[in-house]
């Protein structure tokens, strides 16, 4: 009787471990959550984008600032979108960045896609969430991408473990010039 119970425990443990090891990053898994593909980003390429960056500045009075910005977006591979950000009034701050898609489409920049939604005016919204740091404090970081033929938004929000609400850290809002 004890041997049978022990054997059943081992079998059940093995089944549970096998089930738990099949994650959404496993290409053979049956993950049904939101996904993205490189085609989702094609409305952004071959265009000039103008807009603003609004950000929360921690050095001082936690004040919000808005500065003009421009962007160019290019698809580098089936899994990589590259972008250049220019600040006309502060060219020394110009930067480049990448958005990397996981091969199975479940992650952007190694963060799980928690929401995919089509909203009015044919905009696609992709949202990722992951633990990270903001202002040297542990925080849940939520990144929202809004993509359409005429609008491109990257928004970063955070909340600390003590807080219930997300706070906007920064937001790029671009409109197409084409």
Determine, yes or no, domain membership for 7.
no
Determine, yes or no, domain membership for 80.
yes
pLDDT tens-place string over residues 33-81: 899 999 999 999 999 999 999 999 988 778 999 999 999 999 999 999 9
Cβ–Cβ under 8 Å, residues 141 and 155: no
pLDDT tens-place string over residues 101-152: 999 999 999 999 999 999 988 899 999 999 999 989 999 999 999 999 999 9
Between 19 and 147, the higher pLDDT residue: 147
Here the CATH number for the domain that contains residue 153 is: 2.40.128.20
Q: Give residue 178's pLDDT band: very low, low, confident or very high (50, 70, 90).
A: confident
Determine, yes or no, domain membership for 17.
no
pLDDT at 84 over 90: yes
pTM: 0.80
The number of domains in the chain is: 1
Determine, yes or no, domain membership for 110.
yes
Determine, yes or no, domain membership for 171.
yes
Determine, yes or no, domain membership for 89.
yes
Determine, yes or no, domain membership for 66.
yes
Collapsing DSSP to helix, strand or coil, 177 comes out as: coil
pLDDT at 90 over 80: yes
Determine, yes or no, domain membership for 107.
yes
Domain that holds residue 143: 32-176
Tokens standing for residue 13: 């443990």
């Amino acid at each position: 009787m004890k041997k049978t119970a022990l054997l059943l425990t081992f079998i059940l443990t093995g089944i549970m471990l096998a089930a738990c090891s099949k994650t959404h990053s496993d290409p053979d898994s049956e993950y049904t959550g939101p996904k993205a593909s490189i085609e989702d980003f094609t409305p952004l390429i071959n265009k000039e984008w103008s807009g603003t960056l609004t950000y929360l500045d921690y050095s001082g009075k936690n004040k919000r600032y808005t500065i003009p910005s421009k962007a160019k977006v290019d698809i580098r591979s089936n899994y990589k979108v590259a972008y250049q950000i220019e600040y006309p009034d502060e060219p020394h701050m110009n930067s480049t960045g990448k958005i990397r898609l996981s091969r199975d489409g479940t992650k952007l920049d190694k963060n799980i896609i928690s929401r995919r939604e089509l909203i009015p005016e044919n905009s696609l919204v992709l949202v990722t969430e992951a633990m990270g740091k903001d202002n040297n404090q542990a925080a849940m970081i939520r990144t929202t991408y809004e993509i359409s033929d005429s609008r491109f938004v990257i928004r970063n929000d955070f909340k600390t473990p003590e807080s219930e609400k997300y706070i906007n850290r920064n937001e790029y809002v671009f409109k197409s010039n084409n």
